[in-house]
């Protein structure tokens, strides 16, 4: 186990200030980290994922160690933040709505060639759909017959034990329902 611990070196300490690739010029404070060990028959590796909080906005982020760059250690972090106030406007996501272009003017009528009506299913697809529906109906019918037979057997057992006419009536009603289901086949 000591080999795994040595492989998983901790590069940043709690409350260190770091920058994250793709988030320039924002600065994040290390809030915590977790290690994940992946084991497979032929290989094992460990990843450390740092939990970060934006030093100015409080936004939460997780990042791999490869994406982090140390800005300042925890003991000097407050002084660094005081000397470097939050950047203005840089942390906003880019507005890409203005980047959109109307490709129909480049491709002309090609865009309008798509059929407006849904396609009709082929004979094979219709046949498969009908077979699927018939199978579902047979399954439902079989389950219904099984349930009725279970009820009939229970009622017949109770009739044999108690000689109560109510169970006899129930057996006859179930028999009539079973006959109806079988005849409508």
- Percent of the residues in the chain that have a pLDDT greater than 90, as a whole number: 40
pLDDT in tens, 82-116: 888 876 654 455 555 666 666 666 665 555 565 56
* pLDDT of res. 169: 93
CA atoms within 13 A on the CB side of 8: 19
**Residues ≥6 apart with Cβ < 8 Å to 27:** 17, 18, 19, 54, 55, 56, 71, 81, 84
The CATH number of 2-87 is: 2.30.30
pTM score above 0.95:
no
Query: Can you tell me the distance from the alpha carbon of 31 to that of 58, in angstroms, rounded to the nearest whole number?
Result: 11
CA atoms within 13 A on the CB side of 174: 19
């Amino acid at each position: 186990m000591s080999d795994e611990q040595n492989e998983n070196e901790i590069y940043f300490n709690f409350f260190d200030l770091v920058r994250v690739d793709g988030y320039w010029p924002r600065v994040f404070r290390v809030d915590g980290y977790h290690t994940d060990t992946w084991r497979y028959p032929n290989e094992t590796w460990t990843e450390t994922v740092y939990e970060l909080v934006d030093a100015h906005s409080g936004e939460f982020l997780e990042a791999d160690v490869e994406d982090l760059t140390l800005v300042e250690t925890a003991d000097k972090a407050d002084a660094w933040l005081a000397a470097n106030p939050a950047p203005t406007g840089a942390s906003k996501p880019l507005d890409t709505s203005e980047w959109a272009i109307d490709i129909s003017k480049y491709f002309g009528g090609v865009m309008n060639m798509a059929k407006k009506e849904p396609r009709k299913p082929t004979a094979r697809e219709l046949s498969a759909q009908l077979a699927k529906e018939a199978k579902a109906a047979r399954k439902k019918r079989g389950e219904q017959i099984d349930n009725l037979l279970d009820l009939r057997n229970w009622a017949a057992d109770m009739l044999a034990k108690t000689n109560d006419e109510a169970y006899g009536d129930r057996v006859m009603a179930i028999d009539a329902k079973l006959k109806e289901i079988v005849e409508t086949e």
